[in-house]
Amino acid sequence: MVLGVAKSRLAVERSNWRKDRPFGFVAKPANAPNGEVDLFTWHCKIPGPAGTCWEGGLFPLDMTFTENYPTAPPCCYFPAKFYHPNVYPTGLVCLSILNAEKSWKPGMTVKQVLLGIQELLKEPNNGDPAQQDAWEDIDMNPREYERKVKLQAQRYKA
């Protein structure tokens, strides 16, 4: 009924995003076929950072919020089995700014989160593995890692 804290803030986030969206990114609350909008689920797209093996890809990411937002951070999901050391096989992104016990701050904006995840693409954190595949490759077989990343960028071509 009346907008709660979480929903009000999400409406503000949407408004601010419209005023100041970083180039190449997409972020929009989900639309259902019946015309309803779900402010708690955003469909986003993150461009692969230029000058890296991620370049050329436009990676889809879903951001899900709860009623406890912004006290609690959103959950961010790439597609299942997304290849990156800090992404769980379900697609969940493991990142300190998305962790309430680490660096999440209620003031953090959708824009900052998306830019943070873009940064994570080129700067993975191998101290916090979330999947074995990319985590092993990056240490033991960097060339294979780069090949798979480029393949993935092709798959999600902008």
Q: Does 147 bind other proteins (CB under 8 A)?
A: no
Distance between CA 35 and CA 27 in Å, rounded? 18
Could you tell me which of 57, 84, 69, 74 has the C-alpha nearest to residue 157? Answer: 57
Question: Which of 22, 24, 50, 80 is in the footprint of other proteins by CB under 8 A?
Answer: 80
What is the 8-class DSSP label of residue 67?
T
Q: Does 31 bind other proteins (CB under 8 A)?
A: yes
Residues 121-140 that bind other proteins (CB under 8 A): 126-133, 136
Candidate list 44, 53, 76, 94, residue with the active-site label: 94
Please report how close the Cβ of residue 34 comes to other proteins at its closest, in angstroms: 6
Which of residues 59 and 104 has its CB atom nearest to other proteins in the complex?
A: 104
Could you tell me which of 32, 22, 98 has the C-alpha nearest to residue 65? Answer: 98
Please report how close the Cβ of residue 149 comes to other proteins at its closest, in angstroms: 13
Please report how close the Cβ of residue 104 comes to other proteins at its closest, in angstroms: 10
CA torsion, points 43, 131, 89, 105, in degrees to nearest 10?
-40
Please report how close the Cβ of residue 94 comes to other proteins at its closest, in angstroms: 6
94 catalytically annotated: yes
Distance between CA 25 and CA 66 in Å, rounded? 23
Q: Does 151 bind other proteins (CB under 8 A)?
A: no
Can you tell me which residue has the tokens 């929903």? 7
What amino acid positions are annotated as catalytic residues?
A: 94
